[in-house]
Structure 1
Amino acid sequence: MKVLVVTNDFPPRQGGIETFVRSLCDELPDVVVYTSREPGDTAYDATLPFPVIRDRTAMLLPTARTTQRAVGLMREYAADRVLFGAAAPLGLMGPALRQAGARRIVAMTHGHETWWAGLPGARQALRRIGDAADTLTTVSSWCEEQIVPALSPAAARRVRRLRPGVDTHRFAPGCGGEQVRKGLGLEGVPVVVCVSRLVRRKGQDTLIRAWPRVRRSVPGATLLLVGGGPDREYLEELASAAGIAEAVVFTGAVPWADIPPYIDAADVFAMPCRTRRFGLEPEALGIVTLEASATGKPVIVGDSGGAADTVKHGETGYLVDPHNPVAVGVRIVELLTNAQHRDALGAAGRRWVAEKWGWERSGAVLRELLDS
């Protein structure tokens, strides 16, 4: 099979969906990617073992021009399968690509399709996308529950789970955390790490609000916030107002390839993500939580959307109320003050991810869907 991947979510742009789509490309036998422009894309694309065609725009939309370009790429590269990295809205090109010769079309859904499923107009568009595809995939049980009611009965029967995977060789205990701690002056200090864009949905502000309580129980405990984003100034002001500015370290943006050592620097990984905008902005899953488990860290994750699928509560970490800094702080203190329990949860998490969340398993599912 030759697969044309049509997506806006592709590196060097960073994010969970970008990681998901890029890693799946490695699991396909023959692939060509059609995606949008991104700063630094020329240098990045030169490192890849497959062709990447960048559109002139910073965002692909299902316009007549974009559809015609996708059809042309199918013919140029003799592609007979199509994978939409995110179903909405690019999946609306499905009928045209089918007419151009696509034998199988798979459209992946993530968090944003859940709000498409709930809004008039967008719901009808999602239904059309489902009817045009051979399969719609979902990343979590919660996402499936939200999306399926918007689909036609026939499309609903074709929905399949396609979960992301984790590279347990890159994300492994001892993958560079000591060097990160040394570089940041955190040697011998209890450290809680959150790796994510600095946006309200990820809950870094909840961690900062919890931190005075954490410091009273665990003197010297430091919160390491890894990532860039629009909320940095707000979070810095919040930490300063709480009198804990010296206890919160901001790294700024870190390339995804360099992330494993930052997770390995943690005693505990915490991301109390939450659903915002009246349910329209949930956490679809949270690959970084699984990467933290693979690194042998106990995880604390907010109960939002499909995030519950990334933790076995009480076994690999804890699911918490992301709106309750006190409850979050209690769990953090529990893990920072009980090394035996902390290590047991981390070891259980690594075993679970290695067994259930490998990219080989995800790739096998996708190849089956494209080759049926």
Structure 2
Amino acid sequence: MTVLLVTNDFPPRQGGIETFVRSLCDQLPDVVVYTSHEPGDLQYDATLPFPVIRDRNTMLLPTARVTRRAVQLMHDYGAGRILFGAAAPLGLMGTALRRAGAHKIVAMTHGHETWWAGVPGARQALRKIGDAADTLTTVSSWCADQIAPALAPQAAQRMRRLTPGVDTQRFAPGCGGDDVRRKLGLEGVPLVVCVSRLIRRKGQDTLIRAWPQIRRQVPGARLMLVGGGPDREYLEKLAARTGVSDAVLFTGPVPWAEIPPYVDAADVFAMPCRTRRFGLEPEALGIVTLEASATGKPVVVGDSGGASDTVRHGETGYLVDPYNPTAVAVRIAELLGNPGDLGANGRAWVEAEWTWQRSGAVLRQLLDI
């Protein structure tokens, strides 16, 4: 029943995929991880209840050497089940691992495989990955629709949905938002929060452009952008040009363990994410939106890629045109004035359908555990 997880996406490296892959390890009865080297990995790995074998390189690629190492680990640990943390490109080792005795192979897709599906050469490689795996998983229905045409018909029929879960104990109403507001001097202030890297695809610039209209409708409303990233200087200058610098608070990077109180501080969570680079850079899902719903917040989300799977329009929040600041402003102002039951609806939905236990049960079924 041992599972060999082969992945580049593993802590202490930070990111949504890393959190997804690491959390799934807790749902497996017996797992061993083969991953890349990262600064600080010795200290991190010492805290884990399962073995982690680090490659000498900072990135695993499906080379002959890495494949031989994966086969050796499979034999050393009696791991007849293989899980690729990201299908492309490591899933190209699937055929060799199958020949070496792997009983089940599951390859997870996230968002970048949608790019592979549309590019000649990469598309053929993705087809080989699908042929070698028992199952390719997808995080959203949109991702499945993009990837399926690149696969052989049989492989497309074997695709299954495997989504990240939400820790509904960590992300819960009252998990520390009042403390954050006191610390930042935001008590009693109408507050919108966006938690994400500061990059163009996440749509923080759309929020800033929407803010003059929001302030006219909701005097004193503030916007808190939680996270770091390459776009911070651009966003600060945009806020100054738009005349809303006094209304926009940049927290800078916040450790993942400390994120829930910042989400809980919001009256409304907003991330008008958008698709960029001629469709090659979409939002695959957006687990932070579901974390906000788990915290009981109404959400406003951009219509990009699989983001629509994270909101029930009109029930837990609203899906908006991320290129239309006016439309974004209308929805945010509406929710600041009258959130209704959307936050409570979102909490109930996440508790019912987006838990790690549910995701773990799906994965164990796919691995035949």
TM-score (norm 1): 0.97
Paired with 1:5 and 1:159, the residues of 2 have a C-alpha distance of: 19
Paired with 1:42 and 1:345, the residues of 2 have a C-alpha distance of: 44
Q: Which residue of 2 aligns with 1:367?
A: 364
Paired with 1:347 and 1:97, the residues of 2 have a C-alpha distance of: 46
Runs of 4 or more off by more than 3 Å in structure 1?
none
TM-score (norm 2): 0.98
Tell me whether 1:26 sits opposite 2:26 in the alignment.
yes
- Structure 2 unaligned segments of length 5 or more: list them: none
Deviation, 1:12, is: 2.2
Q: Which residue of 1 aligns with 2:163?
A: 163
Paired with 1:226 and 1:364, the residues of 2 have a C-alpha distance of: 32
Deviation, 1:305, is: 0.4
Q: Over aligned residues, Cα RMSD in angstroms?
A: 1.1
Deviation, 1:47, is: 1.9
Q: Which residue of 2 aligns with 1:220?
A: 220
Give % identity: 80
Q: 1:236 to 1:39 in 2, by over 3 A?
A: farther
Q: Which residue of 1 aligns with 2:240?
A: 240
Q: Which residue of 1 aligns with 2:325?
A: 325
Matches within 5 A, 1:333-372: 333-338=333-338, 342-371=339-368
Letter of the structure 2 residue corresponding to residue 76 of structure 1: D
Moved more, 182-191 or 304-313: 182-191
Q: Which residue of 1 aligns with 2:310?
A: 310
Paired with 1:136 and 1:25, the residues of 2 have a C-alpha distance of: 18
Q: Deviations over 1:179-202 (max 9, x none)?
A: 111111111111111111111111
Q: Deviations over 1:92-125 (max 9, x none)?
A: 0111111222110000111111111111101000
SS at match of 1:58: coil
Matches within 5 A, 1:238-317: 238-317=238-317
Does structure 2 retain, via aligned residues, the 8 Å contact 1:201–1:276? yes
Tell me whether 1:97 sits opposite 2:94 in the alignment.
no
Q: Which residue of 2 aligns with 1:75?
A: 75
Q: Would you say how many aligned residue pairs link Structure 1 and Structure 2?
A: 369
Q: Which residue of 1 aligns with 2:188?
A: 188
Letter of the structure 1 residue corresponding to residue 84 of structure 2: F
Q: Deviations over 1:10-59 (max 9, x none)?
A: 12222221121111110000011111223332222222211222222222
Paired with 1:39 and 1:264, the residues of 2 have a C-alpha distance of: 31
Deviation, 1:234, is: 1.0
Q: Which residue of 2 aligns with 1:209?
A: 209
SS at match of 2:276: coil
SS at match of 2:341: helix
Paired with 2:72 and 2:58, the residues of 1 have a C-alpha distance of: 20
Q: 1:230 to 1:120 in 2, by over 3 A?
A: same
Does structure 2 retain, via aligned residues, the 8 Å contact 1:5–1:31? yes
Moved more, 60-69 or 282-291: 60-69
SS at match of 2:367: helix
Does structure 2 retain, via aligned residues, the 8 Å contact 1:297–1:343? no
